[in-house]
Structure 1
Amino acid sequence: MKRAGRPDFDAYAGDLFGEMVLADASATPAPPKPWSRFVPGLAICAIASVAAAWFAQNYGVPIILAGLLLGLALNFASGDPRTHDGLDFASRHGLRVGIVLLGFQVTAMQVVAMGIIPFAGLALVMGASLLAALAAARATGQSAAVGLLAGGATAICGASAALALYGVIGRERIEQAQFTLTLVILAAASAIALTTYPALTQMLGFTDAQAGFLVGASIHDVAQAIGAGFAVSDAAGAQATVVKLTRVALLAPLVTLAALWIARVQPLAAGSSSARVPLLPGFILAFLALVGVNSLIALPPALAGHALTLSKTLLLLAVTATAMRTRTDLLLELGWRAVMPVLAATIASLGVALAFARWAI
C-alpha cells in the first residue's frame, strides 16, 4: 500500500549502518554531507586525548588507560548527535591507520634473530592465553567471541590487537560495552605488570635473557613491555624488544585465523555487515606490506620514531572515541563475569612465560 506522494517501501534498502537509502538508481542522489560534520566529535575526542597524554606524562598513568577513563567520564557528550560522525570516524579510521603504522617497528630479521627456542616459548605463551580466555568465557556463560577477543588481545599487544580483532569479530557478536570493558582491563593489567614484573624477575634471580623473555612475552602493551625490560637492564630491554615486536608481527596471522574460526563457531546471518568482513582486512594487508618494506629497505630511524608517535596518537584517539560512545550503565550491567577472560589470559600468560623462562632460556 502506497502513501500519497511517497515511493514504495521496496525502493529503500538498508546500508551498512542500518540507515534507509533510496535503492532506485533513477532517484535524485542526496547531496554530499559537509566535512564539517566531523568537527564536533573529533574536537572533543582530541581534547580528551590531550588531557590523557598530560595525565600520563605528569602522573605516570598509562596513556591508553587514561584515555579510556576520560572517554568514559565524557560519554555524556555522545548524547549530542552532532558528535557521532566525528567519534565514529576517530574510532574506525584511527585504529586502522594506527595499526598499519606499527609495521614500521617490525622486520622479518627481528623475528628470525629471536631464535627457535624463544619463538617456541612465545607460541606456548600465546596459545595458553587464548585457551585460558576461551575456557573462562565458556565457564562464565559468555560467547566464544568474548574469549577470542580477550585471549587474542592478551596474546599479541593489548589494545591494538583488541581493536584489530574487534574489526573482524564484529559488533553483532560482541557488545560495545563488553569491548570497552576489555580494553579497560587490558590497560589496567598491563600497568600492574609494568610495576611488578621487573621486581619479580629480580626476586627469582633471572638472567637478563630470562627477564627480557618474561616481560616481552607476557606484558600486553608494547611500550610497557619494552619499558619493563629496560627497567631490569639494557640487555633485558633489548631482549624484551625483540620478543614483544615478534608478538606484534604475529598480529596479522592471528587476525586471519580469528576471522576464519569465529565465522565457523559463531556464524552470522548472511546479510550482516560482519559476515562480509574479508578474511584479511585491508589495514592488516597494509600492515604486512609495511613490515615487508621495513625488512627489505633500511628506513631512517627517525621515520620509525615518528611513525610510532603517530601510531600511538591515533590509537589513543580511537580508544578514547570508543569509550565516549559506550554507555556506562551497560558496563555496570556486565558484572564480574565479563572481566574473567582477560584475567584468566593474563594469569596463564604469566605462568607459562615464568616456567619457560626458568627452565628453557
Structure 2
Amino acid sequence: MKSTDSFYMADLYGELQLAPSDEKRNWRAPIPGLLLVTTAALAALWLSEHYGAPQILLGLLIGFALNFTSADARLRPGLDMASQTLLRVGIVLLGLRVTFGEIAALGLLPFLGLAAIMAGVIGVGVLAARLTSQDLRFGLLAGGATAICGVSAALALWSIIGSKRVSQEGFAITVLGVTLASALALATYPALAAMLELSDTQAGFLVGASIHDVAQAIGGGFAVSEKAGEVATVVKLSRVTLLVPLLLLVALVLGQKGEGKRFSLRQGVPWFIAGFVAVVALNSLVAVPAALAGYGASAASFFLLLAVTAAAIKADLSGILAHGWKAFVPVAAATLTAFALALSVAWAL
C-alpha cells in the first residue's frame, strides 16, 4: 500500500495533514516534471485552438495518456509543484476576475443550498455504507470527501477519524473513488449543463457545487464559459471553507481519544483562500488596470490547466480494479446525490 502522501493530486489541504519532510529541497528537482506538464498543457492549448474542444478537458485526457510517466521518481517534485503550488497561485489570481458585487449578486440561496448539499451528501455516504455492510465511519469519510473537496477533505477527515477507525486501505479506496469521480464529472458535467440549457450562473453553480476536486471544479466551470468559471470558483471555494466546521463537528461527535491528529483552526484556513479574498477585495475597491487583470487572468487559466494535467498524470486509476465494487458504493452514491441536489438548486437560481 502506498503512503498517504502519494494520494493527494490537485490537493489543497493534503500537505497540512502530513509531517514535514526532512528531505532537502533542490531547486532543480521540479524542472523535469514541470517541463513534462508544461509540454502537455501547451499541446492541450494547441488542440483547443485548432479543434475547439475545452482546453481543461484536453489537458485531462493528455494527462491520463501520460499516466505511465508518474512511475519515474524524477518527475514527482515537478508534478507536485504543478498540482499544488501552481494551483494555489492560480486560485489567488482568479480573484482578479471576481468582485464582492458579483458574489453578492448570487444571492443567499446558493450559499444556503451549499450547506444543504453538504449535509445531504454526507448523509447518503453514511447510509450507503450501512446498506453495503461497511463501517459507518468509512461512509462518513467517503461522504465528507465528496461533499467538500475530494482528496483534500479525505486527508483532513482521515486525520480526525483515525486510522484505527478507518484503515489505510479504506482511505485509499475513498481517494481512488473521488479521483475517478472527479475526472468523469469534468468530462461530462459541462456537456450536461449545455444539454440542459442552463444559464452561465446555473452551470457554474452546478459544476462548482458537485465536482469534488478544486482544480477540476473550477476548470469545468471555465469549460462552459468565462462567467460560469467565475461562478464555479466562488461556489467551489465556498465549499472548501465548509471543511473547517465539518472537521470541528466530526471531532466533537467522535470524541477523539488519542486517535489521529487533533484539528486546529490553523489547519483549516490555508493561505490561498486568504489570498483569493484579498485579491477580490482589491479588485472590488480599486480599478485594476485592464492589462494587469488580463495577464493575471491568463496566468490563472494556464496554472489551472497545469494543475489538472498534473493531477491526471499522477492519478492511480489502475488501483480501482483491485477492490470489490461494494467498496466504491458510498462514493458513487454521494457523487450522484451531489449532482442531483446541485442541479435542483441551480434550477432554482
TM bucket normalised to smaller: 0.5 to 0.7
C-alpha contact (below 8 Å) 1:181/1:331 kept by paired residues: yes
C-alpha contact (below 8 Å) 2:247/2:263 kept by paired residues: no
Aligned equivalent of 1:216? 204
3-state SS of 1:219 partner? helix
C-alpha contact (below 8 Å) 2:154/2:171 kept by paired residues: no
**Cα-to-partner distance string for 1:248-297 (whole Å, 9 max, x where unaligned):** 45145223224434555676967869989722122222223223323332
1:55-66 counterparts in 2 under 5 A? 55-59=47-51, 62-66=54-58
Distance 1:112 1:246 in 2: 11
Query: TM-score w.r.t. structure 2 length?
Result: 0.68
Distance 1:126 1:182 in 2: 15
C-alpha contact (below 8 Å) 2:44/2:55 kept by paired residues: yes
C-alpha contact (below 8 Å) 2:56/2:219 kept by paired residues: no
1:321-336 counterparts in 2 under 5 A? 321-334=310-323, 336=325
Report the CA distance between 1:126 and its aligned residue: 5.1
**CA gap 1:178/1:344 in 2 versus in 1, 3 angstroms:** closer
Distance 2:53 2:180 in 1: 13
Aligned length: 311
Among 200, 203, 215, the residue aligned to 2:196: 200
**Cα-to-partner distance string for 1:203-249 (whole Å, 9 max, x where unaligned):** xxxxxxx8555423322434544665x7xxxxxx96x5775454145
1:244-283 counterparts in 2 under 5 A? 244-261=232-249, 263=251, 278-283=267-272
C-alpha contact (below 8 Å) 1:52/1:63 kept by paired residues: yes
1:8-27 counterparts in 2 under 5 A? 16=19
Over the matched positions of the two proteins, sequence identity in percent amounts to: 32
Distance 2:326 2:287 in 1: 47
Aligned equivalent of 2:102? 110
Matched to 1:37, the amino acid is: A
Distance 1:250 1:72 in 2: 29
For the aligned residues, what is the CA RMSD?
Answer: 4.2
Distance 1:198 1:57 in 2: 20
**Cα-to-partner distance string for 1:59-80 (whole Å, 9 max, x where unaligned):** 5555444444433443333333
Matched to 1:188, the amino acid is: L
C-alpha contact (below 8 Å) 1:110/1:246 kept by paired residues: no
3-state SS of 2:287 partner? coil
Distance 2:145 2:183 in 1: 14
Report the CA distance between 1:33 and its aligned residue: 5.4
C-alpha contact (below 8 Å) 1:269/1:275 kept by paired residues: no
Distance 2:81 2:240 in 1: 23
Matched to 2:268, the amino acid is: L
C-alpha contact (below 8 Å) 1:87/1:321 kept by paired residues: yes
C-alpha contact (below 8 Å) 1:107/1:294 kept by paired residues: yes
Distance 1:143 1:259 in 2: 15
The question of 1:186 aligning with 2:196 is answered no
The structure having more radius of gyration, on CA atoms, is 1
Q: Please, which runs of 5 or more residues in structure 2 have no aligned partner?
A: 1-17, 209-216
C-alpha contact (below 8 Å) 1:114/1:242 kept by paired residues: no
**CA gap 1:88/1:243 in 2 versus in 1, 3 angstroms:** closer
C-alpha contact (below 8 Å) 2:121/2:334 kept by paired residues: yes
Report the CA distance between 1:85 and its aligned residue: 2.5
Report the CA distance between 1:324 and its aligned residue: 3.2
Report the CA distance between 1:40 and its aligned residue: 1.8
Report the CA distance between 1:114 and its aligned residue: 2.6
Aligned equivalent of 1:290? 279
Aligned equivalent of 1:234? none
Distance 2:330 2:91 in 1: 24
C-alpha contact (below 8 Å) 1:62/1:187 kept by paired residues: no
